[in-house]
Amino acid sequence: MNISKENIEALRGLIECEPRNVVVLSHTNPDGDALGSSLAWAEALRQRGHKVTCIVPNRFPYYLEWMSGLEDMVIFKCDQEQRAAAAVAEAELIFCLDFHSLHRLDAPLSELIASNTTARRILIDHHLDPPQEFDIMFSYPDASSTSYLVYKVIEALWGAQSVTAKQAEVLYVGMMTDTGNFSFSHLTPDLYMSLAVLCATGINIPQIYNNVYNSFTEGRARLFGYTINRKMKTLRKGTVAYMSLTEAEMRRFWFQQGDNEGFVNYPLTIKKMRMSAIFTEHTDFIRVSLRSRGNVDVNLFANRYFNGGGHKNAAGGKSFVTMEETIAHFERSVEEFAKEGLL
């Protein structure tokens, strides 16, 4: 991957200077890539003397709590000390990682960011179609993860040898989780060369894998079995699947943030399956998660039917009607999508 030299030099001009107040921000329901990219980039900036505050909108999954640096991350939803507000007000640079538009943040965090009209905003992201609301944009939809992009930016600025073991560990988490343990698309030779650099720092890859994928609760295992056995429905001769979980159902299995992560991928292990969805109920909306294989474009589907987006084979959106209405809308949308030859 060729990172824009013009953007690299513009970024260099902003960060190779006297210490600045910096905010590194990621998306709602932060995952391994959001956390890994943010932590590694924040560490790179701190090494160069900047005062950096990492902010996430809400809590991250419990099985990622071991990641080094999370103890200093500000969780906006739990921020009784108003650390986020103070950091944003003072910020001279705001980095937005792993999401492509401020509109993707829930209010009041999006309003807080918008209130700082003087800070330079820099995007590092791999989602499709970002709006032109940033001063510098490292937007590469063909990148497998934002953590990979952060590695490439660090490499372009200071060389691969500048990556520390602490950064390598969290970057590996991001690259691993956003590729389904290196099983999705965009697995390029350059990605594996980047992974080799991370491995050379001495990180413990089996331990990282175990920390992420073998640290779930019994409740999560039982919820997964219930979801697949009782809640998975199929459409169009078994080529489309969907699942739904209400708040009451999740509470039955002692649900914790992140417990349903990956559920939507499982139907795609069925040989003829082309598209999968899961609907999870929240207080004010229903979250829609979509996955696909091959040429089925769930980014287009999410954008058209659920005011969402993401990637070609992984996207999401929201529904503001009941679960029953959401499912009915999905079923109609699938039929319409199929009639256009898109499924």
pLDDT digits 0-9 by tens, 125-166:
998 888 888 999 999 999 999 999 999 999 999 999 999 999
Q: Both tokens of residue 148?
A: 């990979």
Neighbours of 285 (CB within 10 A): 14
Strand partners of residue 292? 275
Topology of domain 5-212, CATH: inorganic pyrophosphatase (n-terminal core) (3.90.1640)
Reply yes or no on whether the pLDDT at 250 is more than 90.
yes
Report the CATH architecture of 218-339.
Roll (3.10)
pLDDT in tens, 263-321: 999 999 999 999 999 999 999 999 999 999 999 999 999 999 999 988 899 999 999 99
- Whether omega for the bond prior to residue 108 falls within 30 degrees of 0, making it cis, is yes
Domains 5-212 and 218-339 share a fold: no
d(CA 319, CA 219): 26
Q: Both tokens of residue 325?
A: 């209405």
Q: Tokens 């900047």 correspond to what residue?
A: 50
Q: 205-213 and 165-178 helices cross at what angle (nearest 10)? A: 50
Which residues neighbour 76 within 8 Å (Cβ) at sequence distance 6 or greater? 55, 56, 57, 58, 84, 109
Work out the angle at residue 36's Cα, subtended by the Cα atoms of residues 228 and 157, and round it to the nearest 5 degrees.
145
Spell out the domain ranges in the chain. 5-212, 218-339
What SS3 class is residue 206? helix
For strand 240-245 and strand 233-235, is the pairing parallel, antiparallel, or unpaired? antiparallel
Q: Which secondary-structure segment (H or E) carries 220?
A: helix 218-226
Assign 325 a pLDDT band (cuts: 50, 70, 90).
Answer: very high
Reply yes or no on whether the pLDDT at 8 is more than 90.
yes
**Of 318, 257, 299, nearest in space to 35 by CA:** 257
- Enter the pTM of the model: 0.91
* Dihedral angle sign, alpha carbons of residues 325, 329, 335, 338: negative
d(CA 71, CA 57): 15
186/328: higher pLDDT? 328
DSSP type of residue 228:
I
pLDDT in tens, 23-79: 999 998 999 999 999 999 999 999 999 999 999 999 999 999 999 999 999 999 999
Task: Report how far Cα 42 is from the mean position of its chain's Cα atoms.
Answer: 17
pLDDT in tens, 164-184: 999 999 999 999 999 989 988
